[in-house]
Structure 1
Amino acid sequence: MSCDADVSLDAWLADLAEAGLVRAVVSAPDPVLAGEGAEVDPTDPAVIGLAADLVATMRVSPGCVGLAAPQIGVSARVFAVDVTGHPKTVTSHGTFVLCNATVVSASRWRPGREGCMSVPDLTGDVKRASRVVVEGVLPGTGESVRLTTDGFEARALQHEIDHCAGLLFLDRVAGAHALYQRKVYL
């Protein structure tokens, strides 16, 4: 995307978050988390509303860097990501929402610790590509985009795409030895 597109996209996302409803996050073993999400029409007003709800919910959730539609009870291939400000972030495309996203290339596989709002009590070590190219469609405009990213943002994208396919990080850990009780800081 060009700089001008980034500026208008940022303004659109700010408006989107303001218009969205904060939704409850479902927890495992809710069946919506295990089903493959349906492809969506990114220009459908219901999908645009869903995108707004995802951004609004993500913004009020401490530590949240991504949220997929199944996590708010909607079986659809839509998710929001924003890794801005996270200490592990090297590359960041800011806040964005993608529909019908797929990983088209992945390389440099590395293990890393993951958590999830839908699995609030555990974290786990998951091996993921640290460099990915993802294609998806922006809600509202229907514009196809291709994102190339690395590091923590690449991990977040893969995590959310997994949610849209009915997978949790628990499905990717090597075994019980790679699961940990989430630390609670008071």
Structure 2
Amino acid sequence: MHETEITLASILRFGDPRLESTAHAVDFPDSELNQNINHLREALVLFQQHYKWGRSIAAPQIGIMKCIVAINTPHLPSVLINPEIIWHSTETQLVWDDCMSLPEIAVEVERWKHITVKYQTIDGDIKFLESLSPQDSELLQHEIDHLSGIIMTHRMTSAHRVISRELRTA
């Protein structure tokens, strides 16, 4: 993306083939990195303002095929570059997963309860997120899946485990 205005329509919808494509690792230095991150943050804020939910977004969701995740939660870094799961617990959890690319529904998925993530900062420094809570673990698994072209419906426990997001939050 170049000097493009970010709108809600910038968030790709299910069915767009880019959502099922693998993103590329960011090589440092990357002259577009700051602009890519700003576009991600803008899309996340617009989505949150409109829908009143959403904690993170992966770059492929706005058509940027790079391994970047923007996060808006108080206890996680705001940007993860080239994140990868390097450890996971054997214990799993069933969660209702929702997605900005299909905001009308939630699907039940099985996720690891705890993970460790290796990532890079905007400066290219390598960092680790360890001892993540179950909530943060499932969030990051969802976003890292996006970077590999995996969408939530690929991980559904059953075709019958789909609900309207309105019912889930009621």
Settle same-fold status: TM greater than 0.5: yes
How many residues are paired up? Answer: 158
C-alpha distance after superposition, 1:9-68 (max 9, x if no partner): xxxxxxxxxxx9634101010010000111112431202211121122212322110100
Report the counterpart of residue 37 of structure 2 in structure 1: 51
Look up the equivalent residue of 1:132 and give its one-letter code.
Answer: I
The 4+ residue runs of structure 1 with deviation greater than 3 A are 20-23
Report the counterpart of residue 81 of structure 1 in structure 2: 71
Helix, strand or coil at the partner of 1:183: helix
Shift of 1:144: 0.7
Equivalences for residues 13-162 of structure 1 within 5 A: 22-23=6-7, 24-62=10-48, 63-84=53-74, 92-93=75-76, 95-107=77-89, 108-139=91-122, 141-148=123-130, 149-162=132-145
Helix, strand or coil at the partner of 2:21: coil
Following the alignment from structure 1 to structure 2, what is the Cα–Cα distance between the partners of residues 167 and 67?
A: 14
Q: Give the TM-score normalised by the residue count of structure 2.
A: 0.85
RMSD: 2.0
What percent of counterpart residues are identical? 25
Look up the equivalent residue of 2:34 and give its one-letter code.
Answer: I
Unaligned runs of 5+ in 1: 1-19, 85-91
Helix, strand or coil at the partner of 1:28: coil
Q: Give the TM-score normalised by the residue count of structure 1.
A: 0.78
Following the alignment from structure 2 to structure 1, what is the Cα–Cα distance between the partners of residues 13 and 26?
A: 23
